[in-house]
Amino acid sequence: MIMTNLARLNQAMGLQRSSASSKQKVQPITQVLKNDENSGDLSLASITSNLHDISNPNKPIPSDLAYNSWLVEHPSALGSFDWMMKAAKGKRIVVFLDYDGTLSPIVDDPDLAFMSDEMRAAVREVAKYFPTAVISGRSRDKVKEFVQLSNVYYAGSHGMDIMVPPRPLRPCDANNYTTAMDIKGSDVLFQPAKRFLPAIQEIRTLLEEITRKVEGARVEDNRFCISVHFRKVREEDYGILEEKVKSVVGKYPEFHLTLGKKVLEIRPSIEWNKGHALEYLLDTLGFSNSSDVLPLYIGDDRTDEDAFKVIRSRGQGFPIIVSSTQKEDTKACYSLHDPSEVLTFLLRLARWRKASSSSRSLAQIWGVGSNLPRSV
């Protein structure tokens, strides 16, 4: 029994691979334990403090050990970076990013979820080398206002409001969805839920009325969906707020209610999510039928799981979840601890591509380079 628990401790520390009966990964697992006080690092002191658990096999594994055990199956994208880039050799990477909790920290006031200048610079640099899109639950205008970059694509309302370059309209688009030219005339707006706008505004008005009676509740109009934030609501009022919101949504059978991080979201019940948005953007950018394309998606919320599923179904790509706790039901293959690690990863990705471009240019001068990464 003691040996069993020692094995569990070693596995949690990343000192041994999961057993043969566990799901095997094709890539080698490399983990990096940081010395940051918030990184869940297993220092000597923390290891010693947990040794008493070995004598009690029925005692739950502490959360930090559980998280590090989870990392065995969802290794750090930073620790796995070299392997990931080797897998990307000769491929074209397309980058997709969530906003809240990924490019910016989760904050109490949604209007103050600003990304840092360092993060903005990193995204700008990545977009120089890879097609890059931000897919958010926020309204497209709002997330664009936060990001403030002109060299990325924007998809708001969980992908129900996408701005893309003009392209020929396919019959399926014309039959099922509504598109409208942007005011500038240079881009096309793809809005599959446009017909729901009148009902969405009705729901927003009703929600604003009922939430006035719940202290701390906040309604956010995200154009094609509505968010009711309850991060500032007293815990004892959660149930009251949820029932009030459900009473409104129940009057509109074409809408449904979902739960996010301290937020209730009301969306039209159409077959469209962040996964569809990812596919649509790949198609629009000319990558849908390319076997050499690797979509890389970084997100922290359950709504990002739809994009992770799409990447898994393609059989190639990098779904990366941002989380400081274990997420057993995630479809992501890799993980990053928080937005600060997202920043580090993006900077490293840009540097890698820049170095690859420099090497390619030198190789072309000398007449070699058949094995160098393809340009994007």
Q: How confident is the model at residue 219 (pLDDT cuts 50, 70, 90)?
A: very high
Least confident stretch, 47-56, 57-66, 184-193, 345-354: 47-56
Please report the pLDDT score of residue 44 as a whole number: 29
pLDDT at 187 over 70: yes
Q: How confident is the model at residue 181 (pLDDT cuts 50, 70, 90)?
A: very low
66-91: average pLDDT: 94
The average confidence (pLDDT) of the chain is 80
**Domain 64-170+272-358 homologous superfamily, CATH:** HAD superfamily/HAD-like (3.40.50.1000)
Complete edge-to-edge strand list for the sheet that includes strand 263-268: 218-221, 226-229, 263-268, 255-259
Domain boundaries, the chain: 64-170+272-358, 195-268
Least confident stretch, 90-94, 140-144, 188-192: 188-192
Higher pLDDT, 373 or 236: 236
pLDDT at 367 over 50: no
342-360: average pLDDT: 89
| Sheet strands (E) in 269-370 | 293-299, 318-322, 334-336
Please report the pLDDT score of residue 186 as a whole number: 64
pLDDT tens digit sequence for 5-28: 434 434 433 333 333 333 333 333
3-state helix, strand, coil in the chain (%, to 5): 40, 15, 40
Percentage of the chain lying above the pLDDT 70 cut: 72
Q: What angle do CA 158, 163, 318 make, to 5 degrees?
A: 55
Please report the pLDDT score of residue 174 as a whole number: 42
Least confident stretch, 200-209, 233-242, 282-291: 282-291
CA distance 326 to 269: 29
**Domain 195-268 homologous superfamily, CATH:** Aspartate Aminotransferase, domain 1 (3.90.1150.10)
Complete edge-to-edge strand list for the sheet that includes strand 318-322: 178-181, 188-191, 161-164, 153-156, 132-135, 92-97, 293-299, 318-322, 334-336
CA distance 372 to 376: 12
CA distance 199 to 302: 25
93-119: average pLDDT: 96
Q: How confident is the model at residue 261 (pLDDT cuts 50, 70, 90)?
A: confident
Please report the pLDDT score of residue 66 as a whole number: 87
pLDDT at 153 over 90: yes
Higher pLDDT, 203 or 52: 203
161-187: average pLDDT: 57
Please report the pLDDT score of residue 376 as a whole number: 39
pLDDT tens digit sequence for 196-213: 999 999 999 999 999 998
CA distance 363 to 376: 17
Please report the pLDDT score of residue 62 as a whole number: 56
Please report the pLDDT score of residue 58 as a whole number: 53
124-143: average pLDDT: 96
Question: Two tokens at 341?
Answer: 């690690």
Please report the pLDDT score of residue 289 as a whole number: 76
pLDDT at 3 over 70: no
346-371: average pLDDT: 69
In eight-state DSSP terms, residue 25 is: P
Higher pLDDT, 35 or 160: 160
CA distance 370 to 373: 9
